[in-house]
């Protein structure tokens, strides 16, 4: 999954010199520009000029007829060409857009419950899991199969994004992508929760002092890498027109593929804690999927952004902190401000909430009998 993602999505240009200051966490932009789509088709040859580049402005529309200038690329004395990640500008938010988001989220959850989850309402999720479970009596094999099915569908649709958006449009393709991926993800997660202790116990370290705290901290950190889609929730729900973003600040300075890094951290933490063969199988499947997403994400971004992606690639790294250590990435003096933004604060709150909700998630999964 590319960061590239999932999604997945979601600024004003700033300079690092004293003459221009980067906006703080949640701040008003100096200006906002909307541009017609025709202005976005700039010749790639302009990007290769070794002069100060004027920022490119991306048009962005929403169901509520939002006419704000979408995320803009940032350009400074070091030649940043990507987008400033996780910027949330209160001046550009419309109440109607968030009303649409809430309604869409409610409808999606309702349909997911009726069509997939609720067995009494004719949901087909149990039938799907029974079919996959019928292939093997091994929980490890079923766990790997569920992960493989999700990976093929998720990464396959992501690879077809350009063709799909040309055929049905950005919003319709996002609905198709989410409508197919979400039920498969729910099935995989529920199966893992219900069968995570059914495998062969390989080690037992849960009584080791401090291990619980280490696992919790690792899981907490992993969510800051896992969910860059929260950079624009309105795009996730197709309220704003979905875009394939080329982020370059924030977590991207640490690693160009934060979702892969976050998944590896999460898998290692949970595998160490659970210590059995089902956890190992789940980790192998998930990490393998995200390693493929590294290659596939870079390929898709290179195809979409060309020389701009190559510039971002040169000063970022797949392995966390590698570009910083070898000097290709220079962190601003006030780098911490790139994290003092609402999306990251939201991730903090949601991560703590998810931890506290673990007992409720387990009870809900058990009741499905999947």
pLDDT in tens, 128-154: 999 999 999 999 999 999 999 999 999
pLDDT attached to residue 90 = 83
Q: Residue 114's closest CA among 103, 124, 123?
A: 123
Q: Are 67 and 36 within 8 A, CB to CB?
A: no
C-alpha dihedral over 22, 311, 253, 330, to 10 degrees? -70
The reported pLDDT for the residue numbered 227 is 76
By residue count, the chain amounts to 370
Helix (H) or strand (E) segment spanning residue 105? helix 95-112
Helix (H, G, I), strand (E, B) or coil at 159: helix
Residue 60, pLDDT score? 38
Residue 330 is predicted with a pLDDT of 93
Structure confidence at residue 89 (pLDDT): 85
10-residue stretch averages of pLDDT, the chain, 370 residues long? 41 39 41 40 39 38 38 51 88 92 94 92 91 96 98 96 95 95 96 94 96 95 80 87 92 95 96 97 97 96 95 96 96 92 89 90 88
State the helix-helix crossing angle for 358-368 and 170-195, rounded to 10 degrees: 90
On whether the CB atoms of residues 232 and 226 are closer than 8 A, the answer is no
Angstrom distance (rounded) from CA 182 to CA 180: 6
Structure tokens at 310: 């190559």
Residue whose structure tokens are 């063709």: 163
Reported as half-sphere exposure (CB side, CA atoms, 13 A), residue 4 has a value of 26
pTM of the model: 0.77
Cβ(92)–Cβ(68) under 8 Å? yes
| Two tokens, residue 315 | 């000063």
The Cα–Cα gap between 256 and 264 comes to 14
Phi, psi values for residue 169, rounded to 5°: 100, 160
Alpha carbon distance 312, 334 (integer Å):
20
CA angle 85, 7, 146 (to 5 degrees): 145
Q: How far apart are CA 256 and CA 249, in angstroms?
A: 10
């Amino acid at each position: 999954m590319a960061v590239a993602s999932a999604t997945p999505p979601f600024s004003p240009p700033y300079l690092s010199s004293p003459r221009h200051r980067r906006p703080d966490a949640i701040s008003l932009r100096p200006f906002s520009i909307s541009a017609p789509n025709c202005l976005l088709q700039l010749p790639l040859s302009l990007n290769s000029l070794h002069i100060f580049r004027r920022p490119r402005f991306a048009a962005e529309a929403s169901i509520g007829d939002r006419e704000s200038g979408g995320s803009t690329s940032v350009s400074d004395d070091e030649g940043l060409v990507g987008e400033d990640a996780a910027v949330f500008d209160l001046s550009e938010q419309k109440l109607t857009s968030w009303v649409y988001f809430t309604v869409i989220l409610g409808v999606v959850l309702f349909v997911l419950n009726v069509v997939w989850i609720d067995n009494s309402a004719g949901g087909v999720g149990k039938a799907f899991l029974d079919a996959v479970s019928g292939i093997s009596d091994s929980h490890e094999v079923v766990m790997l199969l569920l992960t493989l099915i999700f990976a093929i569908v998720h990464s396959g649709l992501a690879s077809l994004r350009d063709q799909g958006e040309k055929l049905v449009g950005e919003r319709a393709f996002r609905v198709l992508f989410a409508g197919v991926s979400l039920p498969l993800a729910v099935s995989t997660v529920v199966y893992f929760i219900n069968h995570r202790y059914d495998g062969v116990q390989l080690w037992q370290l849960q009584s080791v002092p401090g291990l619980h705290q280490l696992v919790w901290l690792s899981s907490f950190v992993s969510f800051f890498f896992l969910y860059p889609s929260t950079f624009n929730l309105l795009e996730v729900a197709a309220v704003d027109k979905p875009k394939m973003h080329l982020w370059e600040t924030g977590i991207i300075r640490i690693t160009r593929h934060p979702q892969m890094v976050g998944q590896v951290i999460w898998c290692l933490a949970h595998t160490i804690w659970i210590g059995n063969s089902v956890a190992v199988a789940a980790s192998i499947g998930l990490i393998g999927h995200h390693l493929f997403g590294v290659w596939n994400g870079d390929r898709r971004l290179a195809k979409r952004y060309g020389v701009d992606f190559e510039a971002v690639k040169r000063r970022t790294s797949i392995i966390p902190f590698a570009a910083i250590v070898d000097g290709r990435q220079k962190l601003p003096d006030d780098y911490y401000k790139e994290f003092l933004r609402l999306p990251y604060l939201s991730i903090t709150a949601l991560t703590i909430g998810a931890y506290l909700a673990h007992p409720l998630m387990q009870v809900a999964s058990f009741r499905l009998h999947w």
